[in-house]
Chain A
Amino acid sequence: MKLFVFPRWANKTRALAGVALGVTPLYLIGLVWYGASPKTTDVGYMPVQPVPYSHALHVGQLGLDCRYCHTTVEKAGVAAIPPTATCMNCHTKVHTESPLLEPVRQSWETGTPVEWVKVHDLPDYVYFNHSAHVVRGVGCVSCHGRVDEMEEVHQQETLSMSWCLDCHRNPAPNLRPPSEVTNMTWKPPGDPVAFGQSLIEKNHIAPPTDCSTCHR
């Protein structure tokens, strides 16, 4: 039997293999780095809601306070989704015939809640408490973005673990007086870092970073 000889073109495969071995890991790293990043997978998540409720209209133009609907945000872990009754406070008088509001009226008549879709959904193994943050002066806008400009709410930030840790390790840039938490346009007076620092001292802000803070 003839001896085995690599065909001449096999010489080229050595260079190709070199390129492949060099480039493939870089490509895979890049793919995972970009593709599996929460910036790609989570930011911009905007599910279709049963009713196209516009925060831009209600908050931005009409000036409703966040807490008018999300009533529990200062006292509880969860920022409550309002019941249909909250909508009907106005919509028994305003736009009573609007076809867009049909699901709300139906809910009002039957007593079954509107099935809103949760946008900012953390994994079940993460404990997050709204009141702990709001009371200490972390503004709504820090995590949820300019909701007052969103026609439909989408996720603005990554909500990744490193994103949480960034603030827990250096809270100063995201602090404000607790009275201003719902203010979407609040700007720190003077130097933001120095002002944040003064709030840390004044309000005794010391965010924990151990695992069991969030993974209980």
Chain B
Amino acid sequence: MKTLEELRKIREKAQADINLRGSNTRVKVIVGMGTSGIAMGAREVMKAFLDEVGKRNLSDVQITQTGEKGLTSMEPIVDIVIEGNPIVTYGEMNAERVIKVIEEHIIGGNVVNDFAVAVD
């Protein structure tokens, strides 16, 4: 059980985390893990990110999950959040595309236009 004071502190910290402010994370990879996403292979995509990021020793990349955005027909969906940049949403992801996104976007800094579906 937390007090109100503690809750407010958690709120401030969580808000900073969401915006990647003052953390060691430079890039956040958010994999859509709703029923549709999982059915279309989101678990494999998640695993591919974990494997590749581990293999390349990218310590400033954080991988996390979320629910569905609503774009059911283009699952699995992945968001790439880089501080100070618009959030890029990729659709119809698979293990092959994961490598491309890591190499070109996360490391290289260029959006992979071929399978980006939205930029916010």
Partners in one complex: no
Q: Which residues of A line the B interface, CB within 8 A? A: none
